[in-house]
Amino acid sequence: MEQQKKGVLFVISGPSGVGKGTINKRLFHEFGEQVAFSVSATTRSPREGEVNGREYFFITRQEFEKRVANNEFLEHASYAGNDYGTPRSYVLSLLERGVSVILEIDLQGALQVKARMPECVSIFILPPSFEELESRLRGRGTETPEKVAQRLAAARREMEMADTYDYQIVNDDLDAAYARLREIFMKETQRANG
């Protein structure tokens, strides 16, 4: 009998605006059948173009607290004034079916996942410079100046912890950054299936 394939849990962090979404989209484009994106729940309001159930499940704070109390999150954290959480049963059922999963979560969440599922593979995406990060974040035009400042402050703190992740990728040239992620993805999924 053919052995069930093992799914790998990837935890990807990096400051807001560094290009996580852009790079991950490429991975799904290429490996869509082997990998799924875990859609988190958040109390943040949707940005223009974001769809409920696609980028996030946009829920009220009350609903969020109910899910925390019911232990429905694998991890959850507060980031720049909003709450975010990873749906536990969805992620675990994908992994059991042999599908790899990407969690695009912040540092606090990554630490919780690492503690609970030490076999996960963690990747931190870094900007080529802080100035470039600021320019990408402003250029995206999705946040108020106050929110941009809040996210840049969080970015400084997070980037100091990049070394604690299994891998670091600098997103300078997008093609090169994607090539590195692709390489890590293939190496780690092959290793898990020895």
How far apart CA 29 and CA 13 sit, in angstroms, is: 20
Instruction: Restricting to residues 72-91, name those near ligand 5GP by CB under 6 A.
Output: 75, 77, 79, 84-86
Q: With binding defined as CB under 6 A, does residue 42 bind ligand ADP?
A: no
> What, of ligand 5GP, ligand ADP, none, does residue 5 touch, CB below 5 to 8 Å by kind?
none
Instruction: Restricting to residues 153-172, name those near ligand ADP by CB under 6 A.
Output: 171
Tokens of 152: 């840049």
Q: Select 143 or 166, whichever has its Cβ closest to ligand ADP.
A: 143
> What, of ligand ADP, ligand 5GP, none, does residue 188 touch, CB below 5 to 8 Å by kind?
none
- Report how many residues bind ligand 5GP under the rule CB under 6 A: 14
Query: What is the Rg, in whole angstroms, of the alpha carbon atoms belonging to the chain?
Result: 16
* Cα 17 from chain centre: 12
Q: Select 54 or 191, whichever has its Cβ closest to ligand 5GP.
A: 54
Q: With binding defined as CB under 6 A, does residue 109 bind ligand ADP?
A: no
Q: With binding defined as CB under 6 A, does residue 127 bind ligand ADP?
A: no
DSSP state of 18: S
E runs forming strands in 80-172: 82-87, 100-104, 121-126, 167-170
Minimum distance of ligand ADP from residue 115's CB (angstroms) = 24
- Do 27 and 139 touch, CB atoms closer than 8 A? no
- The closest residue (CB) to ligand 5GP is 109
Helices (runs of H) and strands (runs of E) counted in the chain: 7, 9
CA nearest neighbour of 25 among 179, 178, 188? 178
How far apart CA 160 and CA 138 sit, in angstroms, is: 22
Q: With binding defined as CB under 6 A, does residue 136 bind ligand ADP?
A: yes
DSSP state of 59: -
How far are the Cα atoms of 51, 67, 143 from residue 80, in angstroms, in the given order?
Answer: 21, 20, 11
Q: With binding defined as CB under 6 A, does residue 16 bind ligand ADP?
A: yes
- For ligand ADP, the binding residues (CB under 6 A) are 14, 16-22, 136, 139-140, 171, 174
Interface residues with ligand 5GP (CB under 6 A)? 16, 40, 44, 75, 77, 79, 84-86, 104-106, 108-109
